[in-house]
Amino acid sequence: MPKKLIKKYLPSSESIKNNKSLGFLGDMIHEPNLWHLNRHSVVKAFAIGLFWGCMPMPFQMVAAALFALWLNANLPLSVAIVWFSNPITMPPIFYFEYLVGAWILDMPTVAFENEFSIEWLKDKLYEIGVPLYFGAVACGIVLSTFGAFTVSFLWKRNALKRWKARKIRQKSQPDKPDGEDKTHND
């Protein structure tokens, strides 16, 4: 994964550190690992963001941020990735998770009424809630694992590609006098 692409869309560490609403985190917010873009912090950030984005709950970003702090993952990336689940994508995501949970638990699916009401929801809360949350956890684990492996693979592939390109450049450059670094142009 190219660092420049990720850095382009993330807020700066200074803007987040100076955010007064995050003052309750104290010195924890100044941990350098929360802001570095290296393979380990980015892979953890993708896993955290993808998992919490699958959860049908309010404040998914807060949960992702707390786990990023706990696991020393890239904080802005963890929070940003949660937004794959947004008000437009939530209904199909959560319906799919409900179907997965019902299938895993071998529960019949509930037919949805044309008119949604609080009374209908109270009557069906157990029948919908259990498979929904079970499916959300199962999908979150699968998606975060797949995402982490994919990002790790892409990061390693990109590093290998850059390393091979650097070796080719070194071979094509004429020998430089001792003391000059051939890889300094990177």
Query: pLDDT per residue over 77-97, tens digit each?
Result: 888 899 998 889 888 898 899
Calpha distance 183→65 (Å, rounded) = 37
pLDDT at 18 over 90: no
Q: Which residue has the higher pLDDT, 14 or 177?
A: 14
- Return the ∠ at Cα 113 (arms to 121 and 89), rounded to 5°: 80
- Name the pLDDT band for 149 (thresholds 50, 70, 90): very high
Q: Which residue has the higher pLDDT, 156 or 29?
A: 156
Predicted TM-score (pTM) of the model is 0.72
Per-residue confidence (pLDDT) for residue 111, from 0 to 100: 75
Helix (H, G, I), strand (E, B) or coil at 146: helix
Per-residue confidence (pLDDT) for residue 15, from 0 to 100: 66
Please, what is the end-to-end C-alpha distance for the chain in angstroms? 17
Calpha distance 175→182 (Å, rounded) = 9
pLDDT at 21 over 70: no
**pLDDT by residue (tens digit) across 41-68?**
889 999 999 999 999 888 888 899 889 8
Segments making up each domain of the chain, as ranges: 31-164
pLDDT at 162 over 60: yes
pLDDT at 177 over 80: no
